[in-house]
Amino acid sequence: MKIAILGYGNLGKGIEAACAQNPDMELVGVFTRRDPSTVKTLTNVKTYHADTILDMKDNIDVLVICGGSATDLPKQTPEYAKYFNVIDSFDTHAKIPEHFANVDEAAKAGGHIAMISVGWDPGMFSLNRLYANAILPEGKDYTFWGKGVSQGHSDAIRRIEGVQDAKQYTIPVEAALHAVRNGENPDLTTRQKHTRECFVVAKEGADKARIEKEIKEMPNYFADYDTTVHFISQEELNRDHAGIPHGGFVFRTGKTGLNKEHDHVIEYRLKLDSNPEFTASVLVAYARAAYRMNREGMSGCKTVFDVAPAYLSPLSAEEMRAHLL
């Protein structure tokens, strides 16, 4: 199937790399709002200006939209769903119902599949919440994130006066993980679930004590957490904190038996060296599903909940049953 990318940041580059791992996919082009002659792709895939994308309409089976959730995707996904099968990683959980409604209308009008909110959270984590809730109706859900880089929290630190650069790691509290895994069903406060570790490059002459105080007291972002702040040099930040790792845990603990006498723990864990590349790998698998579902006559907005797992695999149904079941 023929894949195109709209938006060439970290996620777009991840899609490019993921397509190279899937022999049934051909990456036909990267579309950008920048001057395409200035955008150099990793695999020499051709770049085009986003405004010319309709010229390629018949040569694209699925368009992977790699914009941001704040302003890009709410506009782009409904717009392009009119013309293409599309997929996005819209991750503003609270606004998913609104995004779904907008995209569904456009996709149905165009007769296309539009797969939204694909990735790992929302995405694989959501799937695990759904499966585990369906299996264990009486139980408790826990989601932990990390250890990983939170872009939003890193950005928040960078906006503080006197900060030159920063990277923030979200870290699940080991004792909390242990208690949940042990079936203790703890009630956990925000502080008991995660800690935050910040690596900060201060500008020359900046008041480090004030910066540290501002970070630790920042409402919503840090005030409710045990936060550690390390001041390091730009060289150290570049050398030791260049990656974008992430991951986390989804647990459901529940009881079965007529007298609720048996306890069960379902745990799903991701440990990711590269958040954007893993997200891209999930998107590419669901791009395969979008293409196949549309070929079977389906249209409209879909989420990971609506996709039978078989659509994701390049294997035939017979191969899957023989080797994976």
Residues 235-274 that bind its own copies (CB under 8 A): 256-258, 261-274
Decide if residue 97 touches its own copies (CB under 8 A). yes
Give the bridge partners for 145, in sequence order.
Answer: 248
Name which of 237 and 280 has its Cβ closer to its own copies: 280
Residues 184-243 that bind its own copies (CB under 8 A): none
Burial of 253 (0-12, 13-18, 19+ CB in 10 A): buried
Decide if residue 142 touches its own copies (CB under 8 A). no
Nearest to 186 by CA among 221, 140, 232, 120: 140
Decide if residue 137 touches its own copies (CB under 8 A). yes
Rounded to a whole number of angstroms, the minimum distance from the CB of residue 16 to its own copies is 8
Q: Is residue 138 within 8 Å of residue 107, measured between CB atoms?
A: no
Name which of 132 and 229 has its Cβ closer to its own copies: 132
User: Total residues contacting its own copies (rule CB under 8 A)?
Assistant: 72
Q: Is residue 301 within 8 Å of residue 104, measured between CB atoms?
A: yes
Neighbour count for residue 3 (Cβ, 10 Å)? 26
Name which of 18 and 166 has its Cβ closer to its own copies: 18
> How many angstroms separate the CA atoms of 253 and 265, rounded?
5
Rounded to a whole number of angstroms, the minimum distance from the CB of residue 246 to its own copies is 10
Rounded to a whole number of angstroms, the minimum distance from the CB of residue 315 to its own copies is 8
> How many angstroms separate the CA atoms of 176 and 40, rounded?
45
Q: Please identify which residue in 2, 10, 17, 231 interacts with its own copies, judged by CB under 8 A.
A: 17
With b for 16 or more beta-carbon neighbours within 10 A and e for fewer, the 284-308 pattern comes to bbbbbbbbbbbeeeebbbbbbeebe
Residues 279-298 that bind its own copies (CB under 8 A): 280-282, 285, 288
Q: Please identify which residue in 9, 20, 109, 316 interacts with its own copies, judged by CB under 8 A.
A: 20
Q: Is residue 66 within 8 Å of residue 8, measured between CB atoms?
A: yes
Residues 51-80 that bind its own copies (CB under 8 A): none
Choices 66-74, 92-100, 150-158, 204-212; region in contact with its own copies by CB under 8 A: 92-100
Name which of 29 and 248 has its Cβ closer to its own copies: 248
Rounded to a whole number of angstroms, the minimum distance from the CB of residue 35 to its own copies is 24
Q: Is residue 232 within 8 Å of residue 200, measured between CB atoms?
A: yes
